[in-house]
Structure 1
C-alpha cells in the first residue's frame, strides 16, 4: 500500500531533546511555574495524522515527561479556535484560515503558528449531475464549518469562477457548512450536490458514495504546496511555558518522522486512532486513497498565507488585517538544525 509522502528526514532528535531540557523541565517551566498538563486539540482527519500518531504512539507524552497530555477532538477549525480563545485548550492542530482569523481579530495577541503539519489533501467532490464548473450554478455544496479552511477555499474559488455566495446561504451556489459525517449522509441522499472537504472525507465520498473530484486544491497552488494543517499555540501559554511548547514540538517532529519511517505500519495506526476518536475506522481503499493525497511536513508553507488572507477577506469570512508575527518558528528551527535538517521559513511574517 502506498502511503503519504513526507518532506522531512528528521534524524538525531536526541541532541535536540538535550538542547530543550536546559535548566528546567516542562513541569517546572521557568517562565510559568509548575505545569501539570498540556491540553491539545485536533481533528479525526487524515490531514491530522501527525496528531493522531503523536497521541496513539505516545510520542507527545514521552516528550512532555511529567506534564500530562490531555486531548480533545474537534470537527473543524472555528470550534477549536473558540476553545483556544477561551483557554480551554493550549494548542491545536488546525487549518490555516482559522489560525489567521484569530490572529487578525485579536491584533496578534491570541496565538502563534509554531509548525506545519500537513500539506494537501483537500478537494471539491460532486455528484453525477455536475461535470463542469458551469454545472455548479444553483447547486448546494457543503463545507465542514463556516470560515474553516475548506469553506474559505470553496468560496474564494467560486468567486474566481464568477459565482456569488453568501455566508448566510443563497447566491449562485448555496454553500452549506455541515459536519463531515452528516455531509456524507446528505450526499448519499441527494440533499447536497457536492462538498469541499479534507481527507479522509474526500475519499469517503469518492469511494463510498460515488462522488468524483471536480477540483483538487493542490492544482490551485504553486508546486501543489498549500497548508492543510498547522500547529497553533496560545500566545500566553507559549510565553509562560516555553519548555512545554518546545517539548510539544519535539513530539510533533517525532510524529512526522514516525510517519516517514513507518510507511507500512502507518495506515493501521492512523486507522486505529480514527476508530478510537470516532467509533469507526476507514476501509483500506478509502485510507490508501486519502494518504496518497497528503504530505506530512513541519513546514507551514508561510509563503501562501498572504493569499489565504486575501481569500478569506474575499469570501467574507474574515477581516483584513496585519499578519506580521503570525509565525514563531524559532524553536522548531533550533530542533531541525540540531538534527541536521534545513530550517523552514516564516516568509517575513514572524520569527524563524
Structure 2
C-alpha cells in the first residue's frame, strides 16, 4: 500500500470520526433540548447578603442537587448592569439581580430577553452617612456613593433626593454629587472620609455603620408599604427558558430549598452564607455584621411585583428609564407549580397587591 493511499485512508477515517462526533453531539443537543435539560447552567449572583439564597444554594450544593446531571457554573458580579451585560452576551443563563437592572433589560430588549421567575429578598438597603448629616438638606454639596449607575440602589437614592427637593445628574453634578462605584471602593472611601455617605445593600450597610461609625439616615424599607420591596429576584434568559424548561424548574427547586433553609435554620444559613462570602472575597464577615445584615433582611419566594412597577416609575422620574410596558415581564407559572406541590400559597405578578 502506497504512502499516498495510507494518507488518503487516514484522512477519510478522520473525516468519518469527525462527522460521527458531530452527529452524536447534534443528537445529544437535540435530546437535551427535547427533554428540557441543559448540559450546564451558568448562574449569576453577587457576593452580598442580599443574595443569601444564592450564596447558600451554591455553598451547600442545593442547586447542584436539584439540577442533577446539569452542571452548575456560578459566576459573581458587583451590580445588576454588569450581570445584565453578561446575560445579553450569553455569559450567563440566569442571574439573581435587583429590580431596576431587570426592568432595563426588559426595556432594552423590548421584552424579548428576560423573564422574572422568582422572588428572593426584601429589604436590606439604605442611606448611611457620616456624623453631622441629619436631614436631606444637610446633603447639599455632599458626595454620596451607589454601587453602579442605574442599579437598584442608585435609582432609590436619586428618587429619594428628588422627593426631598434635591437634584443629582448622571455626571456627578447637582445639589448632591452621586458617585457610582463598586462596593469595596465605597467601603474604603467612606472609612477614609472621601465620601459623605452611600446608599448600599447589605452587608455594606452594616459594615459602614459598625466599622466606620456611620449612621443610617434612611432605611429603605420605611419608604415602602408594609416595609416590603424587592431587593433581589431571580431572572432567566427567555431563550434558555424556552429551550430548557426542565432545567429552569430544577433551578427553581434549588432556589426554594435555599429559601426554606434560611427560614428554618437561621444560624446555619448565616454560617453558610458567610463561608461562601469568605470563599469569594477572602475574608468572611464579622459575627456582629453578619447578624445585623440578616436582621435587616427578609427572604421570600414572592417577587413583590407591585414594588417592581413602582421602581420603574422611580427610574423614569429620575431620567434613567423611558416609559416601558412591563406586562409579561414575569413568568411565575413554574414557581407556582412547585409552591403548590409543597403546600405553599401561590405568588402574584399583579401591579398592586
TM (normalized to structure 1)? Answer: 0.90
The answer (yes or no) to whether the contact 2:66–2:251 under 8 Å persists in 1 is yes
Distance of aligned partners of 1:226 and 1:36 in 2 relative to their CA distance in 1, 3 Å threshold: same
Structure 2 match to 1:66: 69
Give the superposition deviation at 1:348: 5.7
Q: Deviations over 1:227-286 (max 9, x none)?
A: 000000001100010000000000000000011121122221111010011111100011
The 5 A counterparts of 1:197-216 are: 197-216=200-219
The answer (yes or no) to whether the contact 1:27–1:67 under 8 Å persists in 2 is no
Q: Which runs of 4 or more aligned residues in structure 1 lie more than 6 Å from their structure 2 counterparts after TM superposition? A: none
- For residues 27 and 270 of structure 1, what CA distance do their matches in structure 2 show? 37
Aligned CA-pair RMSD? 1.6
Distance of aligned partners of 1:32 and 1:340 in 2 relative to their CA distance in 1, 3 Å threshold: closer
> Aligned with 1:245: secondary structure?
helix
Give the superposition deviation at 1:31: 4.3
Give the superposition deviation at 1:33: 6.6
- For residues 277 and 323 of structure 2, what CA distance do their matches in structure 1 show? 36
The 5 A counterparts of 1:84-123 are: 84-123=87-126
The answer (yes or no) to whether the contact 1:27–1:36 under 8 Å persists in 2 is no
Structure 2 match to 1:346: 349
- For residues 78 and 32 of structure 1, what CA distance do their matches in structure 2 show? 32
Structure 2 match to 1:13: none
Choose which of 261, 267, 272 in structure 2 pairs with 1:269: 272
> Aligned with 1:115: secondary structure?
strand
Structure 1 unaligned regions, length at least 5? 1-25
Structure 2 unaligned regions, length at least 5? 1-28
Structure 2 match to 1:309: 312
Structure 1 match to 2:5: none
- For residues 329 and 188 of structure 1, what CA distance do their matches in structure 2 show? 42
Distance of aligned partners of 1:336 and 1:234 in 2 relative to their CA distance in 1, 3 Å threshold: same
> Aligned with 1:280: secondary structure?
coil
- For residues 144 and 50 of structure 1, what CA distance do their matches in structure 2 show? 20
Structure 2 match to 1:6: none
Structure 2 match to 1:49: 52
Choose which of 332, 335, 339 in structure 2 pairs with 1:332: 335
- The answer to whether the aligner puts 1:217 opposite 2:220 as a matched pair is yes
The answer (yes or no) to whether the contact 1:32–1:240 under 8 Å persists in 2 is no
The 5 A counterparts of 1:126-165 are: 126-165=129-168
Query: Higher RCO, 1 or 2 (CA under 8 Å, sep at least 6)?
Result: 1
Give the superposition deviation at 1:28: 4.7
The 5 A counterparts of 1:30-41 are: 30-31=33-34, 35-41=38-44
Give the superposition deviation at 1:27: 10
> Aligned with 1:265: secondary structure?
helix
- The answer to whether the aligner puts 1:283 opposite 2:268 as a matched pair is no
- For residues 317 and 123 of structure 1, what CA distance do their matches in structure 2 show? 19
- For residues 247 and 74 of structure 2, what CA distance do their matches in structure 1 show? 15
Structure 1 match to 2:10: none
- For residues 204 and 113 of structure 2, what CA distance do their matches in structure 1 show? 30
Greater helix content: 2
Structure 1 match to 2:26: none
Give the superposition deviation at 1:319: 2.0
Structure 2 match to 1:16: none
The answer (yes or no) to whether the contact 1:205–1:211 under 8 Å persists in 2 is yes
The answer (yes or no) to whether the contact 1:144–1:151 under 8 Å persists in 2 is yes
Choose which of 239, 250, 256 in structure 2 pairs with 1:247: 250
